[in-house]
Chains A and B, each alone.
Chain A
Amino acid sequence: MTTLELPKEARVADPRPKAPRRPGEKPFGVGRIVALVILILMAISWLLPFAWALVTSLKTEADAGATPVSWLAPNGFTLEAYASVLEEGNIPVWAINSLLSSAIITLLTVATSALAAYAFSRLDFTGRKWLFFVVIASIIIPPQVLIIPLFYEMLAFNMVDTYWGLILPQVVAPPMVYILKKFFDQIPIELEDAARVDGATRLRLFWSIVLPLSRPILAAVSIFVFIAAWNNFLWPFIVINDTSLMTLPVGLQTVKSAYGVQYAQNMAMALLAALPLIVIFLFFQRQIIKGIATTGFGGQ
């Protein structure tokens, strides 16, 4: 992360990355060893599904479907499953669709939310209070209850089976407006006052003063929105039927049944689809963890 000189008030409390040692604690107490063992067992249980998927994906179909169940592969490990999934399947196309649609959704959501959050935080306009209340209250609406009318709307706009229909309805995230407003509220207003005296417009203040100070929270919000869009299933599943327009999760769902009992290929597909987000996580670990820690919001 870039080192930003934030005014104290604007800084988000940093969850201490250091591991605290309680006073009077011995580094090698019996309790700590027991705790370590439990921790290792839990971590193994959480990693086991990945390991099993990986081992299966590296088997031949014959070995993957053989009993008794085994971690070994009598016919040797192979990349066959990956090769055939990439050859036959539309996975690269779906990955590009996922990447593009998620990126556009993120860009539009963060841009519109930040502008609105700035208005709610700084501008004293008529109706601000009740409008903010409406936006916050809407957080409680489960998006799933809107699928029927939303689908109808898309039919009316002729947007079923188009990128528009895929992208536009996902561009609204009231929780993000709330998070951003809370952050903007902490930025001292004096910082803007000086520039205002010099005649800077509101847009200028927003762009050159508030946004640069908000980089950490913007990064966190962007990552949340991106992950949620990337993983969204229900809406893309409803609005897209054309195979070439599908996102990765929807595409996988449709071929899952087609592949049927080809277990190695199924697991190769699952791992290929999981890879992009895991890579993103490894790159943005700090922002993601910090974002969840400080805002309490995420995908799902």
Chain B
Amino acid sequence: MGDTKNARRRKDNLAGWAFIAPFGVFFVLFLVWPIIYGLYLSFTGTTLTGAGGEFVGFANYAEALADRDMWRAMLNTLWFTVLSTIPLVLVALVMALLVDLGLPGQWLWRLSFFMPFLLASTVVSLIWIWLFNPQLGLINEMLKPFGVEPIAWLQDPQWAMLGVVIATVWWTVGFNFLLYLAALQNIPEQQYEAAALDGAGKWRQLFSITIPQLAPTTGLIVILQVLASLKVFDQIFQMTQGGPAGTTRSAVVYIFDLGFTGYRFGYSAAVSFIFFAVIILVSLVQLRITSRKGARS
């Protein structure tokens, strides 16, 4: 009896590792190893040619902490995250609430709001650079009747970040919208029936049933959105290259610039790990907040 159990266990061991192996090879080669190697690089002065690969201790980290450009990029990233997350949650919620009313044309609403999410960042950037064009862009044209002077959206330090945020909301809100829509459709009908019997009106139902029932979904969306926004690169790199005057340069754009235009691989790796630490910190804070909320309810 014990023997067969052991034999079975041994068989499971072998099979287990065999099943893991193909994934494991990619996982180790392209995730684990780059992290370890990146950490090593961050303690060296490595450049593109591999020159200057000597160990420099914490010099890169010390330099980064005193690097005003790095802090600026981090702050820009946080600013972008705040500016984008709020509308990406609220607009998605409004879209889902409206679509969930069951008005005619369901497929059309879903398609309109979700389609941009399918586009490559290059396509999104091409379209929005054109829409934001100071002389020929549709956005300025539409603002004209309201007496707004033409704005150089992506070239004006005052407006560039907002321009990137607008394009980002248009591009990615569809994903959050679908998450909300699914959650809405899972709220039990009986709750509304009971509330209606108690004389609760539509708005009362919205704030006493719908919104509270959506809390877990909202938590999930906020977590996913903050993590996604912190990593912003594509649309900034393509629409503004981090300019004008560094006003839209995000952390990842800075890491890219250091590595692939400045060829300072070691230093770039060090900034990567500082950024990684920020991401972990933000995740932990979010986890704290959501778990505390969960404990209360």
Which residues of chain A have a CB within 8 Å of any CB of chain B? 13, 15-16, 19-24, 31-32, 35-36, 38-39, 42-43, 46-50, 52-53, 56, 64-65, 67-69, 108, 111-113, 115-116, 118-120, 123-126, 128, 131, 135, 138, 140-142, 144-153, 168-169, 171-172, 174, 177, 202, 206, 227, 230-231, 233-234, 238, 248-250, 252-253, 256, 263, 266-267, 269-270, 273-274, 277-278, 280-281, 285, 289, 292-294, 296, 298-300
Name the one of A174, A273, A285, A293 contacting B123, with C-beta atoms under 8 angstroms: A273
Name the one of A24, A68, A124, A269 contacting B9, with C-beta atoms under 8 angstroms: A124
Interface of B is mostly: helix
- For residue B178, CB closer than 8 A to chain A, the reply is yes
In the assembly, what is the distance between CA of A287 and CA of B227, in Å? 25
- For residue B207, CB closer than 8 A to chain A, the reply is no
Chain B residues in 8 Å Cβ range of A36? 103
Name the one of B15, B35, B136, B182 contacting A67, with C-beta atoms under 8 angstroms: B136
Chain B residues in 8 Å Cβ range of A43? 108-109, 112-113
Which residues of chain B have a CB within 8 Å of any CB of chain A? 9, 12-17, 19-20, 22-24, 26-27, 29-35, 37-38, 41, 94-95, 98-103, 106-110, 112-123, 125-128, 130-131, 133, 135-138, 141, 170, 172, 175, 178-179, 181-182, 185-186, 189, 192-193, 196, 202, 205, 220, 224, 227-228, 230-231, 233-234, 238, 252, 255-256, 259-260, 265, 268-269, 272-273, 275-276, 279-280, 283
Quick check: B135 and A20 within 8 Å, CB to CB? no
Which 10 pairs across A and B sit closest by C-beta, in order of nearness?
Answer: A125-B16, A19-B102, A293-B182, A119-B19, A116-B23, A149-B38, A123-B16, A145-B272, A149-B34, A112-B23
Quick check: A144 and B231 within 8 Å, CB to CB? yes
In the assembly, what is the distance between CA of A67 and CA of B101, in Å? 42
Tell which of A47, A119, A280 has the most Cβ of chain B within 10 Å: A119
Name the one of A22, A113, A149, A248 contacting B41, with C-beta atoms under 8 angstroms: A149
Quick check: A148 and B269 within 8 Å, CB to CB? yes
Chain B residues in 8 Å Cβ range of A123? 12, 15-16, 19
In the assembly, what is the distance between CA of A56 and CA of B156, in Å? 25
